[in-house]
A and B are shown apart, each in its own frame.
Chain A
Amino acid sequence: MAIAWIRDVDEAFRRARESGKAVLADFSAAPT
């Protein structure tokens, strides 16, 4: 099982507003 990362920044903030959670933004250079 892995973290279900969101790739769309606007979607992430929309979900944050809906859920009351903070956004954890992971800036990465690792192969995807």
Chain B
Amino acid sequence: MIRFVEQHFVPLKIHVREQPQLFERFGARWTPTQLILDESGEEHYRIEGFLPKDDLLAKLEMGLGKLAFERQRFDDAQRTFHDVEMQHPASGAAPEALYWEGVAAYKSSNDAARLQDTARHLSQRYPESEWTRRASVWAKPASRVASR
């Protein structure tokens, strides 16, 4: 965990009693809250509430994927999301990562079949997940998905 954080992030600690104005500035309403921010302060991912170590690690990596995704580095994002699912398959972030891996693959290729594949994989691996329900709309003819 320490190595991962130091390798990928500049770690900033903000304590509610010491810097309450920063809670207000960044909209932190609960602790612990972790935000993944770019160098200009723009938020790319938010984690609210305690998570066990493996879940937290997976979420932090999710955040790196979302940052790459939002910067339209879709190949980087796809690799990062794939890594989340492979490294943390039992974490709550795994179906979320698979969902976004599919979106990144679609954005990169413009091939709606990637979304359909993702919907199928989600229903097979994580049938109870909210992310599977979100992806269920993709399990339709490619032309309808592509027109969105």
Contact = CB atoms under 8 A, between A and B. Distances in A.
Interface string B23-59: 1001010011111111111001000000000000000
B68 to A, nearest CB: 10
Contacts of B11: 3-6, 12, 23-24, 26
State the main secondary structure of chain B at its contact with A: mixed
A27 B35 contact: yes
B10 A9 contact: no
State the main secondary structure of chain A at its contact with B: mixed
Given A6-B13, A22-B44, A26-B14, A16 B39 contact: yes
A27 to B, nearest CB: 4
14 contacts: A3-B5, A5-B13, A7-B13, A9-B22, A16-B38, A16-B39, A21-B10, A23-B35, A26-B12, A27-B22, A27-B32, A30-B15, A32-B15, A32-B18
Interface of A: 1-7, 9, 12-13, 15-17, 19-30, 32
